[in-house]
A and B are shown apart, each in its own frame.
Chain A
Amino acid sequence: MKKENEITFIFDSCSENEGLARTVLAAFIARLDPTLGELSDVKTAVSEAVTNAVIHGYEGKEGKITIHSRIEGNTVSIEVSDQGVGIPDITKAMEPLYTSKPEMERSGMGFAFMEAFMDDLEVVSTEGEGTTVKMRKTIYSALNLS
């Protein structure tokens, strides 16, 4: 089996596309034969990152979201980028239960879930330019097979 594989896709920022994004990623990592738990971890993390871009990055307005994902060996890395408003204080945004939009019933758990479900999480953001969420996870069921 090919040890490396890469995908990049760009889609409109809207809530309908949240499901599309995580379904594409789920299909992309299927070759690593993840457990249901691992698959759910990745889907949840992608869903959180895309939802953040839709709600916070573009604040419900039009924009494009780019997902770039790469499989190397047993590890999948995923980057979710927007060219939205950016995050003024990343440390605060990543605090569990903190949300800048309580009126929209956001739980403030998005980054906490990304952090918990993936092995690595890095957030790069510039105000007025956008945000990129970089995540990485090793799929251990694939490790056992190799």
Chain B
Amino acid sequence: MERFSLERNGSTLILHISEELDHHMAMQVSRTVDTQIEKGNLKTLIFDFTGMTFMDSSGIGMVMGRYRKMNFLGGQTFVSGIGDGVDRIFTMSGLYRIIPKYEERIQGA
């Protein structure tokens, strides 16, 4: 069963994940995404959470950790496909102050 998938489009990497995102899952996803980041030539990283039914605070750590790596390399990070459950977690943690929704990004920024 496909638990998450990566889509590479030029310098953009999209991670699609709808599996329940806890500490266990976050460790696996982080490793996979980091391998791609370390390959280089990545300008934009998008976390697509479409269909995600569950996330705990480990999801925040996972997104923030990848954001730090992308930021260090001069790239941008976005989140996308946010449902109610994930939105509540991100809002409470203040994540949107650092990582915008892809749908609400400022074009050309």
Q: Is chain B's interface secondary structure helix, strand, loop, or mixed overall?
A: helix
- Complex: A109 Cα to B56 Cα, angstroms: 9
Which of A16, A44, A106, A107 is the one whose CB lies under 8 Å from B54?
Answer: A44
- Range for the number of chain B residues in contact with chain A: 20 to 34
Chain A interface, >50% SS class: helix
Contact assessment for B30 and A105 in the assembled complex, using a CB-CB cutoff below 8 Å:
yes
Q: Which of B10-18, B37-45, B57-65, B100-108 forms part of the interface with chain A?
A: B57-65
On chain B, the residues within 8 Å of A112 by CB distance are 92
Summed over the interface, the residue pairs from A and B with CB atoms below 8 Å come to a total of 63
In the complex, residue of chain A having the shortest beta-carbon distance to the beta carbon of B25: A19
Count A interface residues, CB 8 Å.
24
Cβ of B51 within 8 Å of any chain A Cβ, yes or no, is no
Interface residues of B (CB under 8 A from A): 20, 22-24, 26-27, 30, 54-58, 60-62, 64-65, 84-85, 89, 92-93
